[in-house]
Chain A
Amino acid sequence: MRSTLKNLDELLHYPSAVIGLVVVLLLVAVSIYTVIAIPYQTAINLWRGGEETWYRNPKNAAPAWTNFFRTKKLPVTLDFNTATQPGLKTVKPSTLGESFSINIPFDFNYDAFPNELTVFFTSQYASKLPFVALAWKTPDGRTIRLQNFSITNSQNYRITQDAALQVRLNGVPVTQGLFAVPGSNPPQVLKGRYVLQILGVTFDKGDNIDAEFVSYGDLYGLAGTDYLRRDLMVALLWGTPVALAFGLLAAVGTTFTQMFIAAVSTWFGGIVDTLIQRITEVNLVLPFLPILIMIGTFYSRSIWVILTSVIVLSIFGAGIKTFRAVFMQTKEAPYIEAARAYGAGNMRVIVRYLIPRIIPLLIPQFVVLIPSFVFLEASLAVLGLGDPTLPTWGKIIDDAYTNGALFQGWYYWVLEPSALLMITGLAFSMLGFAFDRIFNPRLRGQ
């Protein structure tokens, strides 16, 4: 115990190890936060939810903070809902039912036009459909009539796709017609306060109208969105515990089995040793990734099946040779002979005397192995063999790649998960290399 503390103390002398350790701890903290804040089932529902979950988000929007670095500010997404935000809607009784007046004022001070404008209506009515009339007020005092129509219980009005409106706006795209400085060429955004005015009437007492207005921008939130309007933050957050758990379990599974087999191989020697050596050679020519691909395609893509296969395929991996070399030296040590002399059995010698001796070698190797498994999970996801339900970093990269993110210039979509993968990989290997120097002082300084 004391030597462990001493080692930890020594660890603090390596700046790279300290950085690695801090990052690893941060990742663990993020994982714990994620699992508590977005429980597993919620995450899966969110990630697999379609338009109805994510209709408020723009498609392929970069993170909002990128505006900070832009000279030409891109619009963010604005969302107003009369059901949840009070003060937007006033209701007065009319002769038959109620008369609604909804005013949604908003400031628009960006240099580009919004992507889409949509109003989502919900209403409760007794006998006749409520009727609404929409109008658009620009900062320079113009009022543009948009459309009048009756609404059902749930109805969307996509302002930007209204062909009749476009005709009335002299054929220019609707966003330009509504937001441009009149007569400007190329069209420029008129900055200032806009108002969307909705007048509604119902025909029975107690009827209700609610409207949600969304102006879809080019930017969204901390992480941006993908082609299905999903908030990438969900997958980025959930990717952390998945990556850490996969890397850790696979690394634990492979190192410990390999170490145990190497110990058995060296201790018993003879035919056992030869056999294990030959199996290791067979394992070397087994194509690791193609077999995993085969398992993923034919049987199951569940992360647990893949994890188990990874461990089983690595039991006789190359690590055995490294461990074996150390065990060969240790086997001849006098204290082993002493143990034999007092009558210790084979298993006792292996578990109590041989294996503890290899821990210094084991810990660095184990830590360095973690990132390779984290990347393996991502590799499988990029090949389209990721777990079908879990959102992971690799799956974001896969989505981005298959949807041409690099061709379209949606770099954030690829860079965010890649950066997280890289940070995780670097943190663990920096820590591992530092461990290596501390536990194996013979190599220190070399």
Chain B
Amino acid sequence: MHEKEKAVKPADSTLSRILKYSGVRLVSLAITVVIGLYLTILIANMGGYVDQIRKAGIELDASTRVASDPTMRNLSAAVKKQRINAIIVLEEHYYGLDQPFLVRSFTYLSDAITLNLGRALQMTSNSGSTQVRLILLERLPPTLLLFATADLILFFLALFAALALSRQYGSFIDKALIGLTPLSSAPGWFYGIFLILIFASIFKLLPFGGMTDSPPPAGRFLFILSLLKHLALPVLAITLSSIFLDIFTWRTFFLIYSSEDYVDMAKAKGLPANEIESRYILRPTLPTIITSFALLVIGVWTGAPILETIFNWPGLGRVLYQAVSEFDTPVIIGSTVIFSYLLAVTVFLLDFFYALVDPRVKIGGEKNT
């Protein structure tokens, strides 16, 4: 496909190439997500839980319809019950619940894709709705805020630290930081516990958890200040758990690329050090770094339920934890679906940045994957 591109449109603009690359990636990711969602549904419905959600929804609908219908108000309870049952049978047929699972599974798939996630058993959104979609979407912004902040800090901190260390290769600070790499074997929540113990429990400097003070402070400035105070520990926990391995890996990439011949050539030409660094070392390393960062971000996402639980952060992960403890099956399945989407969006965004920095995509050279 790429060869055809090269042959037919050699004079494509950079922008259109990036868009085309991203478009292809988007389509392939969309297919990937659909397959991923389908697998999720298969796993969830091995115990018949998705069926249960649908049936519960239909029963609720049927009984509210009969109860609110003025023409049925004067009927006896037994007749009403009969009507309800008749509606349930009809609806179950309409929604295909009497069909074999293979057929049903595709109905569920399209529901999951359109985020038609059913109603929660017990949990409600802040506005009082039992719609799983509303419950989850309400929790999305806090989660995005927390993880986007942490990921950005992680990326730039690790990038500059790795670059600085590759410059001072073999120095004491280099060896010391590399010695800390094994610390990355512990996940974020683990450091979270220690940070809470030190900063909240012993020194009482920062809050134990939550997103803002309760009640939230009135002024905008105070609100942001309180938010930052609550954000500090979880972000620090995520950073601590990944940064050392990141610095180690990226530093190795930089070292590999800085021993290339063209870097020596540039040095021989007498180019200034920072120009060599940004043009000849950072530039070619970036695609590799972004690929490695993508895996890292996915790993950080995976830790969300537990990190948010430890820090009482009102995000998606905590909803999942609450749903587990209340055994609210629709919310559990819904959260899994949303996390699937989040991972796909993450992969797509990083792919897009990859396209921005990878010269092979820009100039349209052949790709080996």
Q: Which residues of B contact A422 (CB under 8 A)?
A: 186, 190
* B49 touches A (CB below 8 Å): yes
* B56 touches A (CB below 8 Å): no
B36 contacts A286, C-beta separation under 8 Å: yes
- Give residues 371-408 of A contacting B (CB, 8 Å): 371-372, 375, 378-379, 382-385, 397, 401, 406-407
- Give residues 296-314 of B contacting A (CB, 8 Å): 298, 301-306, 309-310
* B72 touches A (CB below 8 Å): no
For the complex, give the distance between the alpha carbons of A446 and B178 in Å.
Answer: 10
B339 contacts A287, C-beta separation under 8 Å: yes
Nearest chain A CB to B345 CB, angstrom units: 9
Per-position binary interface string of chain B over residues 310-337, scored 1 when its CB falls under 8 Å from any chain A CB and 0 otherwise: 1000000000110011010100110110
B193 contacts A418, C-beta separation under 8 Å: yes
A284 contacts B347, C-beta separation under 8 Å: yes
For the complex, give the distance between the alpha carbons of A308 and B144 in Å.
Answer: 31
Q: Which residues of B contact A426 (CB under 8 A)?
A: 182-183, 185
Per-position binary interface string of chain A over residues 111-134, scored 1 when its CB falls under 8 Å from any chain B CB and 0 otherwise: 000000000000000000000000
Q: Which residues of A contact B252 (CB under 8 A)?
A: 443, 446
Q: Which one, B181, B186, B193, contacts A433 given CB within 8 A?
A: B181
With most chain A CB atoms within 10 A of its CB, the pick from B28, B182, B193, B340 is: B182
9-residue interface stretch from A154-162, A172-180, A292-300, A340-348: A292-300
For the complex, give the distance between the alpha carbons of A46 and B208 in Å.
Answer: 33
Nearest chain B CB to A162 CB, angstrom units: 36
* B142 touches A (CB below 8 Å): no
Given contacts A286-B36, A286-B39, A368-B185, whether A411 and B306 have CB atoms under 8 Å apart is: no
Nearest chain B CB to A414 CB, angstrom units: 6
B193 contacts A383, C-beta separation under 8 Å: no
* A409 touches B (CB below 8 Å): yes
For the complex, give the distance between the alpha carbons of A372 and B185 in Å.
Answer: 6
Nearest chain B CB to A39 CB, angstrom units: 30
For the complex, give the distance between the alpha carbons of A375 and B307 in Å.
Answer: 13
For the complex, give the distance between the alpha carbons of A444 and B335 in Å.
Answer: 44
User: Which of chain A's residues has its CB closest to B200's CB?
Assistant: A406
B44 contacts A16, C-beta separation under 8 Å: no
* A29 touches B (CB below 8 Å): no
Q: Which residues of A contact B39 (CB under 8 A)?
A: 282, 286
B187 contacts A375, C-beta separation under 8 Å: yes
Given contacts A289-B302, A291-B336, whether A298 and B186 have CB atoms under 8 Å apart is: no
Q: List 15 A-B contacts (CB under 8 A).
A: A282-B36, A285-B340, A285-B344, A286-B343, A287-B339, A287-B340, A290-B332, A298-B332, A375-B187, A378-B190, A382-B189, A382-B310, A406-B208, A411-B197, A414-B197
- Known pairs A295-B43, A429-B184. 19 more at Cβ < 8 A? A16-B182, A281-B28, A282-B36, A282-B39, A288-B302, A289-B303, A289-B305, A290-B320, A290-B339, A291-B43, A294-B336, A298-B49, A299-B47, A382-B309, A384-B321, A418-B190, A429-B181, A429-B182, A430-B182
Identify the B interface with A (CB < 8 A). Answer: 28-29, 32-33, 35-36, 39-40, 43-44, 46-47, 49, 169, 179, 181-187, 189-190, 193-194, 196-197, 200-201, 208, 252, 255-256, 295, 298, 301-306, 309-310, 320-321, 324-325, 327, 329, 332-333, 335-336, 339-340, 342-344, 347, 369
